Each structure stands twice: as structure tokens, then as C-alpha cells.
Amino acid sequence: MAGTKYAYVRTFELPDTLLPGTFMVFRLDGHSFHRFSDMHNFTKPNDARALQLMDHAARDIMEEYPDIVLGFGESDEFSFLLRKSTTLYNRRESKIVSTLTSLFTSSYVFHWPEYFPNNPLKYPPSFDGRIVLYPADNHVRDYFAWRQADTHINNLYNTVFWALVQQGKQTTAEAHATLRGTVSKEKHEILFSRFNINYNQLNEQFKKGSVLVREEIPEPQLGATPAIPAQEDNFISTPETSPTGNKKKKEKRKAKPKTHIVVLHCDIIQDGFWITRPGLLID
């Protein structure tokens, strides 16, 4: 065969199998999104449409890859937890990282017009992705706690910062100077005393980020409001339909209960979230 004499070049492809029995956390981040958000006039400090588009792309990934059991997003980043027993693509690192990053990106561009109908994309945005392995449950919980704590810190800062700029008419340099060295309590106070904003009453999505989990659809009440633990009152639910339409085949394979993916804006640092969802860390 004509190609045979060159086929030796395949021997340079080295295996990149990820250690079995460990949780994979896949995180992706927007590439140069500071500029991207400026170019597309994102609302500051948070653009609800942009966040919902991120959530949509995340949901598409989770619908396509059942081994992803949890997603957490804030700003231009999203983290996903794959069960530790997953054998997705034989646990090949490049294959998993590139495919998940690609599908997320594709979904983001594909659904853009639904969220920005009057604001067409000016150029194709991109994301980078990576996988970090965590051997134990507590590492996974601490990882997601780290991201949600970060969400809180960043959002509080940005909220005050943009209030100072937009309503307080400070320059961005002045706003940074005003905030330098302030602790959390002082930031709350600036917001309340100078701008009459009660931080605690702001949109939960901005303060807590987006938490995507699978919930079972109760059999008799198909289509009814899914039963969500009472304390989590912010969510969007979508009936799970695969973005690539190959749902039927999968459902035949396994007689598992029907699930859909819900978007919550709840606390994932405390025990409650994890205790009520033992399946997240079980295998």
C-alpha cells in the first residue's frame, strides 16, 4: 500500500492514559474573554445572557457525556466532574480534553444568537481546557468549594468596582484604589451606604455561580416541575435531549430512570448539597 512506508510515524504517538480510579475534573476558561466581552458589549459586572449561554453549552456537554455528573460555572469558566470509574475514551487525556473543549465551544457559538439576538458574534471565541485528577472525595469537594469561594470573592469585588465606576463616576484606577485593602465587610458597606445596594439581595447566579446536576424525572408527573430540594429555589430545568439526537440508542442500552439536567445557584461548599446527592462521589 502506498502509505505503508510512512506509517511508522504513528509510533511517535505516545499513550496518555489518565490514572484509573481517580476523579477527573475538567475545567475550561475563555481565551482572552476580557477583550471578547468588551467587543460584544457585555453588561458589567455580570451579563446574564452570557452566563446563561455558558450554562447552555455546559448542559449540552453533560447531555452528551453521561459520565459528567456535575458542572460548576462562573464568569467565563466552567468545571466538570467525571465519575472516577469513567472509561470515557479509555481515559486518554488529549482525546477527552480536546473533545470536551470542542463541544463546549461549538455549542457556545451555535447557541449565541438565541441569547444575543441583536448582537451578532464579531469573531469566533475560543476556550482552553485541562484535566486535573483528584484521588479522594474531599479533594473533589474542596475543588468545587475553591471555585465557588472564588466566585463570591470576585463577584463582590466586581460589584463594588462597577458601582464606583458606573454610578460613582470614578475612573477604573480610582475604583481600584478605593477598594485596595478593603475586607469583605467594608465592601458590603460601600455598596449599601453609597449605592443603596444590598449585596445579599443580588441575583443568586452572580453570587454563587451555576451548578448543573442531573435530577431524576418523577415517572408519573412527566413534564411537571421537577422535585428540587426546597432550599434551592433558583434553577432552570430543561428536558434532556441530546444535542446530537442520538438519545434513543442510549436509552435502550440502559434502563436507568429518566433524568434531566437542572441549573441551580445553590451553595456547594457546605455539606448539604453533597449529602443529598451521594451519587456524585460514589464511583
**Residue in the block written with cell 470515557:** 88
Q: How far is the CB of 137 from its own copies (least distance, A)?
A: 10
224 lies in the site for its own copies, by CB under 8 A? no
178 lies in the site for its own copies, by CB under 8 A? no
Sign of CA dihedral 83, 88, 92, 94: negative
Residue 73 assigned ligand-binding role: no
Residue 56 assigned ligand-binding role: no
User: Which residue spans within the chain are E strands per DSSP?
Assistant: 23-30, 68-74, 77-82, 127-134, 210-216, 235-238, 259-264
153 lies in the site for its own copies, by CB under 8 A? yes
What region does 21 belong to: left with phi over 0, alpha with psi -120 to 50, or beta?
left
Q: How far apart are CA 132 and CA 138, in angstroms?
A: 14
Q: How far is the CB of 2 from its own copies (least distance, A)?
A: 5
7 lies in the site for its own copies, by CB under 8 A? yes
- Binding residues with its own copies: total (CB under 8 A): 72
97 lies in the site for its own copies, by CB under 8 A? yes
105 lies in the site for its own copies, by CB under 8 A? yes
Contact positions with its own copies (CB under 8 A) in 112-151 = 121-136, 139, 142-143, 145-146, 149-150
Query: 84 vs 215, which CB is nearer to its own copies?
Result: 84
Q: How far apart are CA 41 and CA 44, in angstroms?
A: 9
Q: How far is the CB of 110 from its own copies (least distance, A)?
A: 4
Q: How far apart are CA 25 and CA 18, in angstroms?
A: 12
Contact positions with its own copies (CB under 8 A) in 183-222 = 184
Query: 45 vs 129, which CB is nearer to its own copies?
Result: 129
Long-range Cβ contacts of 106-110 (<8 Å, 24+ apart): 107/56, 107/57, 107/60, 107/61, 107/243, 108/53, 108/54, 108/56, 108/57
Considering only 67, 110, 182, 272, the residue that binds its own copies (CB under 8 A) is: 110
Query: 13 vs 271, which CB is nearer to its own copies?
Result: 13
